[in-house]
Amino acid sequence: MSSAPDWKHDLKASERYDNISKLKKYLSVGGLGGNTQKTAFEIEAEAYDSSSSRAAYDDLCNPTQPNDEAFLSTTSPSPKGPGITIGSYKDCHHISSGAVSQVYRCDTEETSYALKVITETHNMEPHSPAREIAILKKLSHPSIMSLIKTIHDEESRLVLVLPYMPYTLTDLLSKSSNGLSTRTTKMIFKQLLSGLAYLHAEQIIHRDISPSNILLPQDINGQIPVVITDLGTAWHPIISSSAEPSDQKCLEVGTTCYRCPETLFSNTAYTTSLDLWSTGVLLAECLRSPPNPLLESRRGDEDGNQLGLILSMFKTLGTPTAETWPEAMKWKTNPFQWWNIFPSKPWEELLPNAEEAGRDLVASLVVYESGNRMTADEALKHPFILE
């Protein structure tokens, strides 16, 4: 990792000028009087002189970045209009839909709940509400969604009663046009990795780490932690073993661009490292400005979505070889045929605004060979998380 002086040596004059221009625009839009050009130069110079890392410098030169925490601190608006009754819960308002469920928000005098109503009970593997409930009952960790209880509604549909949290990481990313602050990113991923380390210690694979499944509290600096939700497609070594033996796991798991390469090449014996690939791809997105996905993919229900994702992987990370992805040699469908040879893009190009420690952590997670990916426990000890 670069020492403090190294980041200044690597910082280009054009990048400093871009920051000055950005600061000048911010000052002008804010309606501040005086010489905005001079003030922008002074702010940038102070940031350059006082910062011990590139990340600290970038934060000081991006006055809009702290708005991610400001966005979370705003009160989540209460639903308007009359809601429906679900069991004993009245005035419930729809907030989201999934493949087998619909989620409603219910506010009471004491607290707010999320009611996950199971709407599809036919064979929807790997979605299994029964397995999700069984797994949730065995878990207890601050960063893993807890199950309060289950009920049945007036139509005898199964309902999971869960704690309500106002935001997802998707919400935050959509409001952060300049990217998340380094501080916020570290806080989110420290808790995300803590939850994954807990799951993986039990050999549970979440299988759908994506921004919509990361719930955020209203006060990210408070006592309520970031929470991993939706274990509807999770794999458990005992609970899932009859439907999915460990070497015959379902391949249709994950969300669009966060899907792991093993599942795209028919490796049904994948492990907990699958979640770390998705986490690395998600971290890369949070480190980009604006926070665009690292890889491109069509929606899961569109034709050619898997081929498009594979092509995006190879164009971005380089076409794998037998040397860089040896485990793939034994798969029925391996990635060493049919494809053009694309060189890998350097992480400095893919994540130009990230500090070196952040790029290093992403590079340690987004690795073709699953056995070479950093584990959740190891990632928690990485300098990017510890700093």
Q: List, for residues 122-149, the tens digit of each pLDDT value.
A: 767 788 899 999 999 999 999 999 999 9
Q: What is the CATH number of the domain that holds 158?
A: 3.30.200.20
Q: Which of 337, 38, 361 is nearest to 192 (CA)?
A: 361
Residue 197 lies in a domain: yes
The answer to whether the beta carbons of residues 384 and 357 sit under 8 Å apart is yes
Same-domain status, 192 and 315 = yes
Same-domain status, 147 and 277 = no
Least confident residue range of 17-26, 213-222, 232-241, 299-308 = 299-308
DSSP 143-207: TBPPP-EEEE-TT--EEEEEE--SEEHHHHHHT-TT---HHHHHHHHHHHHHHHHHHHHTT-B--
Instruction: Domain count for the chain, please give it.
Output: 2
Same-domain status, 156 and 272 = no
Tokens of 274: 């699958």
- Average pLDDT value for residue range 156-163: 96
Grade residue 2 by pLDDT with cuts at 50, 70 and 90: very low
Residue 313 lies in a domain: yes
Phi, psi of 292 (to 5 degrees): -90, 150
Same-domain status, 312 and 177 = yes
Residue 37 lies in a domain: no
Same-domain status, 229 and 350 = yes
Same-domain status, 257 and 323 = yes
Residue 28 lies in a domain: no
Half-sphere exposure of 126 (CA within 13 A, CB side): 26
Same-domain status, 174 and 152 = no
Q: How confident is the model at residue 67, as a pLDDT?
A: 55
Out of 10-19, 38-47, 51-60, 275-284, give the one with best mean pLDDT: 275-284
User: Which has more pLDDT, 222 or 160?
Assistant: 160
Tokens of 356: 């070196």
Tokens of 27: 């000052």
Least confident residue range of 84-93, 220-229, 329-338, 346-355 = 329-338
Q: How confident is the model at residue 333, as a pLDDT?
A: 83
Grade residue 18 by pLDDT with cuts at 50, 70 and 90: confident
Q: What is the mean pLDDT of the chain?
A: 87
Q: How confident is the model at residue 271, as a pLDDT?
A: 98
Residue 4 lies in a domain: no
Least confident residue range of 145-159, 293-307, 368-382 = 293-307
Name the domain boundary from 163, 185, 213.
163
User: Which has more pLDDT, 33 or 52?
Assistant: 52
Same-domain status, 210 and 107 = no
Burial of 202 (0-12, 13-18, 19+ CB in 10 A): middle
Least confident residue range of 72-86, 154-168, 366-380 = 72-86
Name the domain boundary from 140, 163, 186.
163
pLDDT per residue over 284-310, tens digit each?
A: 999 998 999 999 986 655 545 688 999
Q: What is the CATH number of the domain that holds 219?
A: 1.10.510.10
Examine the pLDDT at 225 and tell me if it is beyond 60. Answer: yes
Q: How confident is the model at residue 172, as a pLDDT?
A: 92
Report percent pLDDT > 90 for the chain: 62
- Average pLDDT value for residue range 304-325: 90
Examine the pLDDT at 237 and tell me if it is beyond 90. Answer: yes
Query: What is the DSSP pairing of strand 214-216 with strand 112-118?
Result: unpaired
Assign 3-class secondary structure to 86-145: ECCEEEEEEEEECCCEEEEEEECCCCEEEEEEECCCCCCCCCCHHHHHHHHHCCCCCCEC
Residue 157 lies in domain: 84-163
DSSP 274-320: HHHHHHHHHHHHHHSSS---SS----TTSTTHHHHHHHHHHHHH---
Report percent pLDDT > 70 for the chain: 88
> Model's pTM, two decimal places?
0.81
Same-domain status, 200 and 157 = no
Grade residue 118 by pLDDT with cuts at 50, 70 and 90: very high
The residue whose two tokens read 């509807």 is 232
CB atoms within 10 A of CB 33: 7
Q: How confident is the model at residue 384, as a pLDDT?
A: 96
- DSSP 8-state symbol, 124: -
- Average pLDDT value for residue range 107-128: 88
Grade residue 34 by pLDDT with cuts at 50, 70 and 90: low
Residue 190 lies in a domain: yes
Residue 365 lies in a domain: yes
Examine the pLDDT at 250 and tell me if it is beyond 60. Answer: yes
Distance in angstroms (rounded) separating the CA atoms of residues 344 and 331? 23
Q: What is the largest CA-CA distance in the chain?
A: 71
CA distances from 58 to 208, 249, 307, 310, 381 (A): 31, 43, 36, 33, 24
pLDDT per residue over 174-207, tens digit each?
A: 888 778 888 899 999 999 999 999 999 999 999 9
The residue whose two tokens read 């390469």 is 261
Least confident residue range of 51-55, 134-138, 165-169, 288-292 = 51-55
The answer to whether the beta carbons of residues 263 and 270 sit under 8 Å apart is yes
Same-domain status, 324 and 253 = yes
- Please give the torsion angle defined by the CA atoms of residues 99, 104, 105 and 111, in that order, rounded to the nearest 10 degrees: -90
The answer to whether the beta carbons of residues 86 and 153 sit under 8 Å apart is yes
H/E element, 78: none
Which stretches within 202-272 are classed as H helix? Answer: 261-264
Distance of CA 55 to the CA centre of its chain: 20
Q: Which of 139, 131, 132 is nearest to 200 (CA)?
A: 139
Examine the pLDDT at 51 and tell me if it is beyond 60. Answer: yes
Candidate list 68, 153, 208, 275, residue with the active-site label: 208
Same-domain status, 174 and 140 = no
Least confident residue range of 7-21, 55-69, 243-257, 354-368 = 55-69
Q: The sheet that has 227-228: what strands, in order across it?
A: 167-168, 214-216, 227-228
Residue 64 lies in a domain: no
Least confident residue range of 61-70, 89-98, 119-128 = 61-70
Active site (annotated) includes residue 247 = no
Q: How confident is the model at residue 61, as a pLDDT?
A: 79
Name the domain boundary from 141, 163, 185.
163
| Helix, strand, or coil (residue 123) | coil
